[in-house]
Every structure is written in C-alpha cells, then in structure tokens.
C-alpha cells in the first residue's frame, strides 16, 4: 500500500513543476532529499531490519582475519568477553558468526537447527571427500539424511561398537606389552605418540581390517597418509577466504599437494576394497569379523540402501570414519593423562577404583569398565576442559535467520566455541580447574542434550561416532591406570600444557612419562 500511494504524490509535484523556471534553493533541495530518503527507508522496509551482532574493528579486505591468532578458540573466547555471546567477524570474504554461550547454542540447535545444518564447503574437504559425499561435510538435504542413517545404523550403532571389542582388546594388549618393555628397561615413553598409534590402529582395523602401522603397506601406509591428510585439512586456502584469489592456491602449491595426497589415498582405498571383494568370493566365512569395508560392500551388493552407494560415496564414508575416529580420541586421552599426572590425588582415586573393580584378574574386561563411575567422570571432565575440537566443526546458514535478537544473513559460517561454553564461570564452578567430582551424581552428559556441555556437538549435525570414540578411550585409559603407575621423568618438574591448533587441539610438547609396572 505504502509503495503505491507515494507515486501519485510524486507525480503531482512533477506536474506542478513542469514548464516552470524554479530558482535553485539549496536548503529546499536538501530538505527534499532528506524527505525522499526517509520515505525510501520506510517504504522499502529499511526500518524492519534487525541489527547485526557486535563485531571487533576490522581492516579493509582481510576483515578480522589477523585477529584469530594461533589459537582461534582462545582469541575468540577473549573477544566474546567484550563483544558478547554472539559475535560477528569478517574473515576475509567469509561472514562468520561465533557462538559463545549455552543459551545461544540452545536457540541455534533447538529453534533453528535446520537453518544452521549446512556445512561450508572447504577446498580440502571438497578434494579429500569426493566432493563432500561423506557424512560430516555433505550439504544438508536428502542425501545427507540417507548417508547419516547409513553411518548411525550400520556402522556406528552401539551394537556395532560392541562387536569391535576384540579389536580394542588386541590393540591394547600390544600397547601394554610395549609399556612393560619400557618398565623393564627403566625408560621413559612418548605417551602422546603411543596413544595416537593405538587410536589409529583401532580405527584402521575397524574401518579397513588392517593396522595403520602395518609395514606391509610400504610407502602408502594408511597411518602415515591419513596423518598427512589430517594436517592438510587445516592448511590455509586463499580460495576459502578470498574466492576471487582461488588461483593463488595453485601458485602456493596447496592444490597440487592436496590432490597428490588424495590420489594416493584413493588408490589405496581402491586396493583395499578390491582385496575385500576377492576375500569375500574366496572365503565367504571371513565375514565373521566384519570391518566397515565388508559392511558397506555387503549393503552395496544387496541393494538394501535407499540410495545408490557408488564407489566414490563408499570411499568418502570410509575417509570420514577414519578421520573422525583417530585424532579426536587420542587427543582426549593425551589431555586426560596429562591432567592425571598433574594431580596425584585424582590419579590415586581413579587407580583405586579401577584396581578394586578388576581385582586380581589377568585381563580387564569391557564389563569392568561399565562399573567404573569415577573413570567416566574423568573422561567427561577431560572433554569439558579440553574438547578435542574446541571450535565445533563449522556450520553454515542456509537462509536469513534471527538469533538472539540479531539478524544472521545466509551463507554465514558459524563456529560454536566449546571452550567458552564449557569453561563459563556462570555455569561451571571453578571452571578452569580439572575437577572430575563435578560430574558425580550429575545428570549432565555429552550426548547433545545439555548445551553447556557439547564436546560431540548437538542437533542434527552432532557427531555420530561418539559411542565409538568413548568406548576406545574408556578401555585404553582403564588399562593404563590398572597396570601402571605414572610420573614425570626425574628431570621434568613441570608439565607443559601449551596447545597447538589443528584439526584437533593437542599438546604442543608430547607427553613423555615414566611408567612403573603395578603388580596386582
């Protein structure tokens, strides 16, 4: 109505002025322009726009890119204390929203979860994951729903996770033998490296049926290649930050490096899949201990899925399973053991529980872990204080949305800062301290329903591999606490807890410790 009614008014003014010679009056002209702008603002809906979230001052072209620092989760946390729980940043060309409170995270994942369920498509993810055909980075839509259902029901269900207990037992036994050898020799060990190795081997055997450090793989060893890819996932890309400068990724060598790693991994996965097909035809009984490749090939062969599982889709899912199941688990265990070594009181309490439940048995069993309530509190506290991915895997808005009274435009990259939420002193007492007792008789869990505690994310894009990772961490840590006593090497008085940001946030200085064998 407003847009239509103003036209006759303007036409009448023009008709009255037509044919007249009017002396130019600057004041009258300025008034006319001001009135016109007011009318334009009102009738085009300008007054209806919501304000944007507050933002730190930014520079031309690069925006706030220079302010993220080497540890973005901590830089963003510091900024949120000044600019609030919803903060808008301009990271080069990319509009970015940082969410730093449980209330804002709840509104985002409860009231507007669908709008926030897309993923920004990065250069590395696009190359490594076959055009983002995996679960983690696929665009929100029907295909993503189908492939997530495949992951949740067929690969990562609780029943499936339990079926791989034999893998965890065998890999932990190898780890324990290495540690016993170090005890006999009186040597210190790089526990960070050992935890990464056991995590890689558990995930690798569950995914492709082979140990990640199997020397029979030669130069294409899955473990070395996968670690290289995880590092390259976080390499800076001009194309991601400044789309018009995407050609720079060729000049810097980024694209050639990513494609070289991808070709090696693609060839390796083709080889593994072909070997599984041959083994199935030669020995149909080998499926008694199925890995993910076996399961996916069986589903592909029997056409039991709601979509066509092409070779590229199959390999993308396999990549997802390995990347999501190794570094996050080993990082959690690394920080956990570091905190226990710092606090002898917590360490003793944990060991007393584990050793009381296991008794004098020769082998710790999964059913024993189910009874270790304090151990579960320790793992929760490690995930709270040291979330492996403190900036939750980014999301992207699919349309304009109002959040916390602010207007968030479409195609905005969204980071939920778990560090800020999980160390918020308004929620957590003595928030910066490692206190597992806070979870005793506490219903707060990490399954995505308590928005003050989201180490595995929440909403539709929550991590489907949560049960897999937690089962591995619980079993490995229980065995380390049962069989060994732990202390720093004699020359090390303090434990360096400096962080390094990457696909996960791990210790900058590897955890070197001196184990001592415990005799039940």
SS3 330: helix
Stretch (H or E) spanning 517: strand 512-517
Reduce the DSSP state of residue 300 to 3 states and report it.
helix
Q: Are residues 498 and 509 in contact, defined by beta-carbon separation less than 8 angstroms?
A: yes
Q: Is residue 104 part of a domain?
A: no
- One domain for residues 40 and 161: no
pLDDT score of 297: 92
pLDDT of the residue at 105: 97
**More confident: 332 or 231:** 332
Q: Backbone phi, then psi, for 221, in 5-degree steps?
A: -50, 135
Residues 371 and 226 occupy one common structural domain: yes
Q: How confident is the model at residue 280 (pLDDT cuts 50, 70, 90)?
A: confident
| Beta bridge partners of residue 515, listed in sequence order | 486
Residue 282 pLDDT grade (very low, low, confident, very high; cuts 50, 70, 90): low
Q: Which two tokens stand for residue 349?
A: 């309490």
Output the average pLDDT for the chain.
Answer: 87
pLDDT of residue 457: 92
- Number of domains forming the structure of the chain: 2
Candidate ranges 13-22, 285-294, 299-308, 480-489; pick with highest mean pLDDT: 480-489
Q: How far apart are CA 276 and CA 274, in angstroms?
A: 5
Question: What does the H/E/C string look like for 112-175?
Answer: CCCCCCECCCCHHHHHHCCCCCCCCCCCCCHHHHHHHHHHHHHHCCHHHHHHCHHHHHHHHHHH
Question: How are beta strands 94-99 and 413-416 bridged, if at all?
Answer: parallel
Report CA-CA distances (Å) from 503 to 201, 228, 388, 393. 19, 11, 9, 9
Three-class DSSP category at 310: coil
In this prediction, what percent of the chain has a pLDDT beyond 70? 87
- Per-residue confidence (pLDDT) for residue 238, from 0 to 100: 94
User: Does 30 score more than 60 pLDDT?
Assistant: no
Burial of 46 (0-12, 13-18, 19+ CB in 10 A): exposed
**Tokens 């002898």 identify what position?**
344
Confirm whether 216 is domain-assigned: yes
Q: Are residues 281 and 166 in the same domain?
A: yes
Q: What is the pLDDT of residue 2?
A: 41
The residue among 490 and 195 whose pLDDT is bigger is 195
- If asked whether residues 149 and 36 sit together in one domain, one would say no
Domain assignment of residue 429, given as a range: 126-517
Residue 88 has pLDDT above 50, yes or no: yes
- What is 428-441 written as a DSSP string? STTTTS--GGGGTT
Q: Domain of 211: which CATH number? A: 1.10.630.10
The per-residue pLDDT for 31 is 54
The yes-or-no verdict on residue 398 having pLDDT over 90 is: yes
Is pLDDT above 70 for 218? no
Tell me if 275 is assigned to some domain. Answer: yes
The sign of the torsion formed by the CA atoms of 181, 184, 185, 191 equals positive
Q: What is the pLDDT of residue 323?
A: 74
Nearest Cα neighbor of 322 from 418, 209, 401, 404 is 209
Give tens-digit pLDDT for 90-112: 999 999 999 999 999 999 999 99
Query: Do 306 and 427 belong to one domain?
Result: yes
Tens of pLDDT, residue by residue over 415-471, are 999 999 999 999 999 999 999 999 999 999 998 889 999 999 999 999 998 999 999
What is the model's pLDDT at position 21?
Answer: 42
407 strand-pairing partners: 402
Q: Which two tokens stand for residue 160?
A: 């499936």
Q: Does the pLDDT of residue 9 top 50, yes or no?
A: no
362 and 249 in a single domain? The answer is: yes
Q: Minimal CA–CA distance to 473: which of 357, 359, 388, 356?
A: 388
Non-local CB neighbours of 36 within 8 Å, separated by 6+ positions: none
Work out the average pLDDT over 506-513. Answer: 93
Given a cut of 60, is residue 483 above it in pLDDT?
yes
Asked whether residue 184 carries a pLDDT value surpassing 80, the answer given is yes
- H/E element holding 99? strand 94-99
* Residue finishing a domain among 48, 68, 84: 48
List CB contacts of 1: < 8 A, sequence separation 6 or more: none
Is 412 a residue whose pLDDT tops 60?
A: yes
Residue 346 CB partners (closer than 8 Å, separation 6+): 339, 340, 378, 434, 436
- pLDDT value of residue 287: 53
Of 25 and 75, more confident: 75
Residue pLDDT, tens place only, 201-212: 999 999 999 888
* Closest residue by Cα to residue 71 from 461, 501, 442, 366: 501
Task: Provide CB contacts within 8 A for 135, sequence distance 6+.
Answer: 144, 147, 148, 150, 151, 317, 320, 464
Confidence at residue 213, expressed as pLDDT on a 0 to 100 scale: 76
pLDDT of residue 283: 60
Phi, then psi, of 451 in degrees rounded to 5: -80, -5
Exposure of 7 in the CB half-sphere (CA atoms within 13 A): 3
Give the mean model confidence (pLDDT) for residues 371-387: 97
Residue 132 domain-assigned (yes or no): yes
Burial of 144 (0-12, 13-18, 19+ CB in 10 A): buried
Q: Is residue 328 part of a domain?
A: yes
Closest CA to 489 of 459, 468, 516, 463: 516
Burial 164-175 (b: 16+ CB within 10 A, else e): beebbeebbeeb
Q: Is residue 278 part of a domain?
A: yes
CA–CA gap between residue 266 and residue 130 (Å, rounded): 10
- Based on the fold, state whether residues 44 and 132 are members of the same structural domain: no
Q: Is residue 174 part of a domain?
A: yes
How far CA 396 is from CA of 121, 139, 149, 456, 478, in Å, comes to 9, 10, 21, 18, 38
Query: Does residue 203 sit within a domain?
Result: yes
List 415's β-bridge partners, or say none: 98
Q: Transcribe 448-461 into DSSP letters.
A: SS-TT--TT--GGG
If pLDDT is split at 50, 70 and 90, which confidence band does 262 have?
Answer: very high
pLDDT at 217: 54
Coil vs helix vs strand at 391: strand
pLDDT on residue 25: 53
């Amino acid at each position: 109505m407003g847009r239509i009614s103003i036209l006759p008014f303007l036409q009448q003014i023009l008709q009255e002025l037509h044919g007249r010679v009017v002396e130019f009056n600057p004041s009258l002209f300025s008034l006319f322009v001001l009135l016109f702008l007011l009318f334009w603002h009102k009738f085009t809906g300008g007054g209806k726009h919501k304000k944007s979230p507050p933002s730190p001052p930014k520079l031309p072209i690069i925006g706030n890119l220079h302010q993220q620092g080497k540890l973005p989760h901590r830089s963003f946390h510091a900024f949120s204390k000044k600019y609030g729980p919803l903060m808008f940043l301009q990271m080069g060309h990319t509009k970015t929203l940082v969410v730093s409170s449980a209330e804002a995270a709840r509104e985002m994942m409860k009231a507007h979860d669908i709008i926030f369920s897309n993923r920004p498509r990065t250069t590395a993810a696009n190359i490594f994951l076959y055009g983002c055909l995996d679960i983690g980075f696929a665009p929100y839509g029907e295909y993503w729903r189908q492939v997530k259902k495949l992951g949740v029901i067929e690969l990562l269900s609780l029943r499936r996770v339990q079926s791989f207990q034999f893998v965890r037992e065998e890999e932990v036994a190898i780890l324990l033998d290495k540690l016993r050898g170090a005890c006999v020799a009186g040597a210190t060990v790089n526990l960070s490296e050992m935890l990464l190795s056991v995590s890689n081997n558990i995930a690798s055997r569950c995914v492709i049926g082979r140990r990640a450090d199997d020397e029979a793989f030669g130069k294409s060893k899955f473990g070395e290649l996968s670690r290289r890819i995880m590092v390259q996932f976080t390499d800076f890309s001009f194309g991601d930050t400044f789309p018009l400068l995407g050609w720079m990724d060729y000049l810097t060598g980024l694209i050639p490096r990513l494609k070289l790693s991808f070709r090696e991994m693609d060839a390796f996965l083709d080889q593994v899949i072909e070997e599984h097909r041959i083994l199935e035809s030669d020995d149909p009984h080998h499926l008694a201990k199925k890995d993910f490749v076996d399961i996916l090939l069986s589903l592909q062969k029997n056409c039991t899925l709601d979509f066509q599982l092409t070779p590229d889709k199959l390999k993308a899912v396999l990549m997802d399973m390995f990347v999501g199941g190794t570094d996050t688990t080993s990082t959690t265990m690394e920080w956990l053991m570091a905190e226990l070594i710092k606090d002898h009181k917590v360490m003793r309490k944990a060991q007393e529980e584990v050793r009381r439940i296991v008794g004098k048995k020769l082998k710790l069993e999964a059913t024993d872990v189910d009874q270790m309530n304090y151990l579960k509190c320790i793992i929760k506290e490690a995930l709270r204080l040291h979330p492996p991915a403190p900036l939750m895997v980014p999301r992207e808005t699919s349309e304009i949305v109002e959040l916390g009274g602010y207007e968030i435009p479409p195609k905005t990259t969204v980071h939920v800062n778990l560090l800020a939420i999980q160390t918020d002193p308004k929620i957590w007492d003595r928030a910066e301290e490692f206190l597992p007792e806070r979870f005793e008789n506490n219903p707060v869990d990490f399954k995505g329903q308590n928005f003050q505690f989201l180490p595995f994310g929440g909403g539709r894009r929550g991590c489907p591999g949560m049960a897999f990772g937690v089962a591995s961490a619980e079993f490995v840590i229980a065995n380390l606490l049962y069989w060994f006593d732990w202390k720093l090497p004699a020359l090390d008085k303090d434990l360096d807890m400096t962080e390094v940001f990457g696909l996960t946030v791990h210790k900058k200085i590897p955890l070197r410790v001196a184990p001592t064998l415990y005799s039940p």
